[in-house]
Amino acid sequence: MAAPSSPVPGLRQRPAPAEPEAKVPLAGRDDALRQATESLREPGLVIFTGPPGCGRTRLLERLAAASSRPVHAGGGLAMLSTSPALALERATRARMPADDLPLLAEAVYSRTRGGVLIIDDLQWCDAATLAVLPILAERVPVAAALRTPNRLPGPARERLFAAATLIEVPDLTDAEAEALIRGAAPALAAHRIAQLTERGGRNPLALTALARRAGDLDAELDFDTVADPAAAAAAAIADLPRPGRTALAALGLLGRPAHPSLLGEGAHLLLEAGMVVAEGRHLRPASPWMAEIAAGLLDPQAREAMHAHLAEATTGLESARHAHAAGLADRALAAALAAADDPAAGLSTRAEALLLAAELDPSLRVRAARSALDAGRPGPALAVLEGETGPEAALARAWAHLAVGESAAAARALEAAGEGPERDQLRLLCVPPDERADLAEALRERWGAGTGHPGLAAALAGDDPEALREAEALALEAGDVTCANWCAWNSVTALVDAARLGEAEATAREAAARCAAAGAYSWQTRFLAAGAWCLVLSGTGLDHLIATSQSLADHALPAVADTLIVAAIALAEADTGALGTARARLARLSTPPGSLGELVEWLEHETAWLDGQPGPQAPESEGGLVGGLAHITGRWIAYDTGTDPAEAVKTAWPAPVEATLEAWDAARGEAFDTAAAAWNGLAAREQVRCLLALAAHTGDAPAAVAALEEAERIAEEHGLTVLAGRARRSLRRHDVRRDRRSARGTGGLTEREIEVLRHVAEGHPSRRIAEILGITAETVETHIRSGMRKLGAKTRTEAAVLLDVGGGAA
């Protein structure tokens, strides 16, 4: 019924709201929705406001879905923003008389009476719609959404806001953001989700778009593909007023929070729209990804002009970068050199600045390469030396080759170097191990005891950790960072080769901390990777290690660090039962650097052996701990496949390796006892393998059972799932059964059948399930078959699905 007091229904002057509602930040979307539902129990106007992509439309949809009254949904459209009353026509599904406001109000009311009117995208509604909404809201509940910023004419907006309850769409909560990403990319690992949330901010559109392309984070933004959500974001940004667009693009080019003065008049606009967030005195984009898109939308001239402006407004390396991007070579060079000479600059900054400067002035190339080496970045050092000749360049190039693990290439580069202690130091570092002693002798004769050159002294120290430590201190004192890092690195590898894993790990950790403090991040990652490798070999905290190492592996790392960390994760994964993942990881590894080739080859054989597919041949190996492990794996492969093992070259093996190989040669159970004791506290996985070998070789059944039980216990304690399975299988051969048969579980399935089917659901083949559970593949097949029969499934996949749906999860 029309209000009786007014001659023209709906044109009654609305009393001014008692007081503007205090803005209380809402806890989440559910809260916002609840507040809107509450306000719409009676006629009134609720407007959701927020920046592009914040999920206003989704909130309206949820509101509509929850409404008990009929819903009439419409809204503005960008291309038809001047079309009279279109938003209302969409809602009422009928032509509307737009030129007569009272008539329009009456027409809409007659069609929406008793229901709820929903108008999306107010920013594209025409004047008639905007004018009639406050009137309608007196008689019908109206929910609407408005993007900020928008270009609504001032008076229309004021009239609208005066009649409305404004609800700012709250940021996504952590849980909401995670649920959103999981929905779009179900198989994404947890740490990647955190990364995406960081980059996308709390913006649903950005998060969805990023999650969709999660496989390839650095893929070029493609604005021209209609289906790409980035295109939707780009359209929203392109619609911003120009100063706002410029300010957002500036944030994108900067890639960091910035002071408002840097962003011009648009800063205010973005802040008002909630697209940037104040962080101290700086402004941070609410969604860094949106800022990147804004920068990507700039045309080349505008981008250049903006870089020039930013070069003006920033200092140091950043200014040099922007000047370079703006094509101002002289200015970029001057700024880069100034940044490199800044005593407060860290190693990385200095290297970055000099590499930039060398691009502009070729005479700086050797200096830039040296600086990059100090920062532990041999790749860029090699790149900047491209085409450079001369003795100094040769020395730097040799260092760089050495740093990526290519000794042969380093030796070749040295041929162009001039005489001197540094060249001799490098020669020593590049020489093959069997010639090293002779060369060291010759050099000692030539230079005498006091070389006065810390680097050469270090190189002469060879594999002796104590001498290396002294040389490291000497080099640090002399300010030669590269040399000090090399000393530390050599002592880590020497300690690993001597099977002194604990000390190696401690040294690596200490060196990593020192590099972190000095800002040499590439060296730091290398030491961190080495530390992780030591921990994996010793079998300490494998699950924890996989999680923490993964975040390191996600960064772009120098080749040595990258290979080491992948190797560490792969071995940890293989030992803990994720054999498929581990082998895929190793297969993805590109050609490892020369010095790590042996290690990777051993790992490939080791994981294949753990996976029950021992390779036909033992891995090639030379000396050191990894060489020894390769031989031990070779013995196992020979034992499992019934072939003859490769003869071990007689070299000085580390004591535990020596003991193990001797035991294999003797093929007596008792000998393995000594070997197992030698590994105790050093490498749990090798200790377990010795105990397994003991049981396999001894003729004494009680001793075998005791060894196997010990092996099972140690393996389980350290999370070595696969080796524990092997121990259990051997125990069964001795008629010791772990009673895994149990009460019937869900739907008549035994717990063992459920366990096996759960593994099937995870995509493991029977062979691997057998390894993990320590039963034979035939038994696994039997479990699967009986499980399938009980579930009435025709295929394994169906069985896994039925188990999952039927609430087998318990």
DSSP per-residue letters across 275-287: SEEEETTEEEESS
Shortest Å, Cβ 73 to another protein: 7
Which residues of 326-400 form beta strands (DSSP E)? none
Of the pair 22, 805, the CB lying nearest another protein is at 805
Going from the C-alpha of 571 to that of each of 162, 542, 635, the distances in angstroms are 65, 9, 19
Shortest Å, Cβ 304 to another protein: 22
Shortest Å, Cβ 287 to another protein: 18
Question: Which residues on adjacent β-strands are paired with residue 203?
Answer: none
Of the pair 217, 329, the CB lying nearest another protein is at 217
Of the pair 726, 764, the CB lying nearest another protein is at 764
Find the DSSP H helices in 152-240. Answer: 154-162, 174-184, 190-200, 204-212, 229-238
373, two tokens: 């080496």
- What's the length of the chain? 810
Of the pair 232, 416, the CB lying nearest another protein is at 232
Shortest Å, Cβ 768 to another protein: 11
The letter for the amino acid at 220 is E
At 380 the three-state DSSP class reads helix
Question: Which residues on adjacent β-strands are paired with residue 560?
Answer: none
Of the pair 333, 799, the CB lying nearest another protein is at 799
Cis peptide before 432, with omega less than 30 degrees from 0? no
Of the pair 120, 505, the CB lying nearest another protein is at 120
CA-CA-CA-CA torsion sign (284, 287, 292, 293): negative
Shortest Å, Cβ 720 to another protein: 23
Between β-strands 71-75 and 164-168, what pairing exists: parallel, antiparallel or unpaired? unpaired
Shortest Å, Cβ 136 to another protein: 19
Of the pair 92, 730, the CB lying nearest another protein is at 92
Q: Report how far residue 165's alpha carbon sits from residue 382's, in angstroms, rounded to the nearest whole number.
A: 63
- Give the contacts of 220 (CB within 8 A, at least 6 positions apart): none
Shortest Å, Cβ 114 to another protein: 18
Q: Report how far residue 273's alpha carbon sits from residue 663's, in angstroms, rounded to the nearest whole number.
A: 74
Tell the burial category of 413 from Cβ atoms under 10 Å away from its Cβ (0-12, 13-18, 19+): buried
DSSP per-residue letters across 497-554: HTT-HHHHHHHHHHHHHHHHHHT-HHHHHHHHHHHHHHHHHHT-SHHHHHHHHHHHHT
Of the pair 390, 806, the CB lying nearest another protein is at 806
Q: Report how far residue 720's alpha carbon sits from residue 529's, in angstroms, rounded to the nearest whole number.
A: 21
Shortest Å, Cβ 536 to another protein: 23
Residues that bind another protein (CB under 8 A): 57, 73, 75, 77-80, 83, 86, 89-90, 93-95, 120-121, 183-188, 212, 214-215, 223-224, 226-227, 231-232, 234-235, 580, 584, 760-763, 793-798, 800-801, 804-805
Shortest Å, Cβ 763 to another protein: 3
419, two tokens: 């005489």
Shortest Å, Cβ 589 to another protein: 17
Shortest Å, Cβ 284 to another protein: 27
Of the pair 223, 639, the CB lying nearest another protein is at 223
Shortest Å, Cβ 794 to another protein: 4
Of the pair 109, 523, the CB lying nearest another protein is at 109
Of the pair 145, 458, the CB lying nearest another protein is at 145
At 188 the three-state DSSP class reads coil
Contact 600, 633 (CB under 8 A): no
Of the pair 203, 524, the CB lying nearest another protein is at 203
Nearest in space to 455 (alpha carbons), one of 489, 478, 432 = 478
- Burial string for 480-510 (b: 16+ CB within 10 Å, else e) reads bbbbbbbbbbbbbbbbbbbbbbebbbebbbe
Of the pair 107, 599, the CB lying nearest another protein is at 107
Of the pair 228, 710, the CB lying nearest another protein is at 228
- Give the contacts of 177 (CB within 8 A, at least 6 positions apart): 197, 202, 207
Shortest Å, Cβ 208 to another protein: 8
CA-based end-to-end distance of the chain: 58
Shortest Å, Cβ 17 to another protein: 30
